Structure 1
């Protein structure tokens, strides 16, 4: 991407020299129009060179703009696959994007093709916000990335499990229970309370710190983080014209950059504090475990690779774990509360299971998880019907590849439509129905993972924190059902209208519930 930026800058410089005295007549608008016309011609030539998967006809220069910005993007792609096949091509301006809509095609991309599709798109905004690709989530599939992920995985296994994970959950949920107790009998939106609980768990695990609900730092952190998600949307004009970042960045891009820097400053400050107080004999949290894992790797790994793992890399790793764990978990828990409130008979069945496995004298813990398969099945069904990341993180082809007989040129973006996978009638009986029983065998135990259930992706880019997230959410859901009857307010019906939908995510709206303490 840096090479492309340099080429564009050199091209603009050469163009100005060629135009000479005509420069004063060339406006930014006319330059963009000219560039657009050139890109359209280039696109038409390139498009005919490859046999890309079929798809809806794009508009010149604009591509399939309306589809990419649709709130029901995932649904439209699923419908288009009925006409064009499981793999379709859409265009962001002149840039092709391959969308995969079945588990069979997704397995080909994520698993069977090994690392052929393991890269990430070279997106200008992603490169900018990851400090030039120094994170794990959006970095390219390289030896440095593999070592970086190995170090992060080692830290996760060392710290984010067992007793310390359970302590963080119980500590945070104790505060949440106090807040819910104050709301008994009152209709309220639980979203802010859920945000507080999830932030405290992540903060405790990463930095050994917790916030009180009314702490101004907590409120400011969540506001900045929510504003960033809302402002980020589905991408920037700068992703189509990278040179704009240097010469003419949009107000929205500048706003996102400022918000991201505020969050990064918090993480970098915590990392520096941990470096200054690090004690190898007292690993306090994930940040310490990350520092320790890097130190241990320095003893037996390639020193040239390790020299590329700076504090900026570790800050980006913290960002990946912190925000991926915070956002996907809080959005899932918000949907969970809505669904159990809307389906009281399912809620009662889960509560009976929890009472039999745990009782009322203590909070459910990680060791109780095998004894509560129905509760876990409810959570799995929430992850299916309310897929919080409908198309996940995009992949990119590392080489010129083939998929279902079609060309996928090197660098092409590939999106896995997880929403389509989770609503495929070939694999789900009555997919619109909320039915936890579909995950259980005839004895009421959890059966094998359904073939088309993929909330954490798969293959080389599988979610690094999958095991932690599933255990964490299961315990949290069990605690809330143990403590409360959760209901839709009297006279109202459950509103499943999402607040955000499409490429940007799928989040619950500001619904209200009523809670009653179980005695």
Structure 2
């Protein structure tokens, strides 16, 4: 009987196979060593996992510490990926303006998911960004219309704080309100605070952003995802579960819009605009390419998450500082009295005459670095950051925390001091170019303008109407939890006492 074990290759062919194998192995080792030597220096890691086992929950702090040893630009092996960290302003400024560093990793943010425009590279990303901004501006982004809608939403939110002096769970109240603002742009409507579907979706979004980490196992060891789910490790099953809840929520919105869509329908939100673009491409026989319904769903989910989380987290930190420093709360209220009064509602234009209020917001964004690290970039070609060579396909991460706590830029950086932004006469707040809470360059957050309007209006409206405090003896903790954003770990209950004139 024929057996494979008795089969033998002719010696010449065997020699050729061995030679080719050895040649490829030597070539691979040579290229790997060459690439490693060309990268910026950094700490050694372990085989397969690299430096991942040495990273804790607050990776931005460890990245900052490593920069003090290896310099402001250094390289880590995370899983099988070479990741270059950028930890100072001169190099970060250079990197954010470098078109060769606009690409995203080949892997999706959540393994097995569709790719949103935020995860795209090259022409697909440019096309989706152009279309997204065009639609969002058409439906109100950057216009008086959206400011009016935000003010109406804030009026409704403020009524939830009227509890006759009883302590309030601030996060529970403000979360649904802030997500309503982006819902208007994306879905064309907002939700009742008691809507059970919206409550579950907000909970899932908040849980996902708390558990998911940019520099974590899912990102750098995606092949382990299924194993980790089975073993119940690193909350991967919860991350996937919450991701699916948000996914299904947005899918329902897309389905509803498709059912109601017709060519004469007025475009009132992002989903409408995207469906219209698909119809126009179909009429012109333009291939679907990345303009699929799945991409629409992922884009809407990405906008919803990003459009909620940053403002939500910033407002949580802001209220902590208002209570910790009541004298600053009174200064903001004094500006309100001088510029707006207590009868008229604030306008975003009022910010030009309220320098201390703006300085307060800037300082919250700096000291807490809500987005401590950026979404990973990928070098689409060989390039440089300063004098550091960055080979093609190297991943690059910006450590905003390091820049925001650099004593060369910010004297006494661990001190909360809004006055650092004020001119000598105190009449203007100057935001320095190295304060970039929404990143910078062509891949900065497209919702920055909306977020700035929300932060100003929510803060001013609350301080205009209420004196915010906690019960006597309550500890104010600035400990943070870090997932996608940095949020307070232990937010106390707050008392909103109506301001009497």
TM value normalised by structure 2: 0.85
2: CA distance between counterparts of 1:220 and 1:282? 30
Which residue of structure 2 aligns with residue 288 of structure 1?
272
User: 1:234 Cα shift?
Assistant: 4.8
Kept in 2, the 8 Å contact 1:124–1:242? The answer is: no
1: CA distance between counterparts of 2:377 and 2:240? 23
Query: Aligned in 2, Cα 1:485/1:57: closer, same or farther, shift over 3 Å?
Result: same
Which residue of structure 2 aligns with residue 164 of structure 1?
145
1: CA distance between counterparts of 2:421 and 2:316? 21
* Alignment of 1:88 onto 2:87: no
Query: Aligned in 2, Cα 1:315/1:463: closer, same or farther, shift over 3 Å?
Result: same
2: CA distance between counterparts of 1:78 and 1:242? 25
2:161 is paired with a residue whose SS is: helix
User: 1:263 Cα shift?
Assistant: 1.3
Which residue of structure 2 aligns with residue 118 of structure 1?
102
How many residues get paired?
471
Query: Aligned in 2, Cα 1:312/1:495: closer, same or farther, shift over 3 Å?
Result: same
* Alignment of 1:213 onto 2:193: yes
Which residue of structure 2 aligns with residue 273 of structure 1?
256
Which residue of structure 2 aligns with residue 259 of structure 1?
242
1:181 is paired with a residue whose SS is: coil
Kept in 1, the 8 Å contact 2:137–2:143? The answer is: no
Which residue of structure 1 aligns with residue 59 of structure 2?
73
Which residue of structure 1 aligns with residue 336 of structure 2?
354
1: CA distance between counterparts of 2:273 and 2:412? 45
Query: Aligned in 2, Cα 1:82/1:371: closer, same or farther, shift over 3 Å?
Result: same
Which residue of structure 2 aligns with residue 192 of structure 1?
172
Which residue of structure 2 aligns with residue 174 of structure 1?
155
2:435 is paired with a residue whose SS is: coil
2:76 is paired with a residue whose SS is: strand
1: CA distance between counterparts of 2:223 and 2:57? 29
Kept in 2, the 8 Å contact 1:427–1:451? The answer is: no
Query: Aligned in 2, Cα 1:213/1:308: closer, same or farther, shift over 3 Å?
Result: closer
User: 1:248 Cα shift?
Assistant: 8.4
Which residue of structure 2 aligns with residue 3 of structure 1?
none
User: 1:64 Cα shift?
Assistant: 1.6
Alignment partner for residue 506 of structure 1, among 483, 486, 496? 486
Greater mean alpha carbon deviation, residues 459-468 or residues 262-271: 262-271
* Alignment of 1:495 onto 2:477: yes
Query: Aligned in 2, Cα 1:447/1:341: closer, same or farther, shift over 3 Å?
Result: closer
Kept in 2, the 8 Å contact 1:165–1:472? The answer is: no
Query: Aligned in 2, Cα 1:313/1:360: closer, same or farther, shift over 3 Å?
Result: same
2: CA distance between counterparts of 1:198 and 1:44? 53
User: 1:399 Cα shift?
Assistant: 0.8
Which residue of structure 1 aligns with residue 89 of structure 2?
103
Query: Aligned in 2, Cα 1:125/1:236: closer, same or farther, shift over 3 Å?
Result: farther
2: CA distance between counterparts of 1:43 and 1:229? 39
User: 1:253 Cα shift?
Assistant: 4.2
Which residue of structure 2 aligns with residue 365 of structure 1?
347
2: CA distance between counterparts of 1:200 and 1:510? 25
- Deviations 1:159-197 (Å, cap 9, x if unpaired)? 223333223322322222111111x43333311111121
2: CA distance between counterparts of 1:430 and 1:444? 20
Query: Aligned in 2, Cα 1:283/1:376: closer, same or farther, shift over 3 Å?
Result: farther
Greater mean alpha carbon deviation, residues 235-244 or residues 92-101: 235-244
Kept in 1, the 8 Å contact 2:75–2:82? The answer is: yes
Kept in 2, the 8 Å contact 1:342–1:494? The answer is: yes
Kept in 2, the 8 Å contact 1:497–1:508? The answer is: yes
Kept in 2, the 8 Å contact 1:422–1:453? The answer is: yes
2:296 is paired with a residue whose SS is: helix
2: CA distance between counterparts of 1:317 and 1:445? 41
Which residue of structure 2 aligns with residue 57 of structure 1?
44
Alignment of 1:62-461 (within 5 A): 62-68=49-55, 70-111=56-97, 113=98, 115-123=99-107, 125-126=109-110, 128-129=112-113, 131=114, 133=115, 135-140=116-121, 142-158=122-138, 159-182=140-163, 184-234=164-214, 237=217, 239-240=219-220, 242-243=222-223, 250=230, 251=232, 252-278=235-261, 282-292=266-276, 303-304=286-287, 307-461=289-443
TM value normalised by structure 1: 0.82
- Deviations 1:389-441 (Å, cap 9, x if unpaired)? 10121111111223333332211111100011111111112111112222232
1: CA distance between counterparts of 2:108 and 2:445? 23
2: CA distance between counterparts of 1:241 and 1:509? 27
1: CA distance between counterparts of 2:192 and 2:340? 28
2: CA distance between counterparts of 1:352 and 1:287? 42
2: CA distance between counterparts of 1:329 and 1:157? 19
Query: Aligned in 2, Cα 1:389/1:248: closer, same or farther, shift over 3 Å?
Result: closer
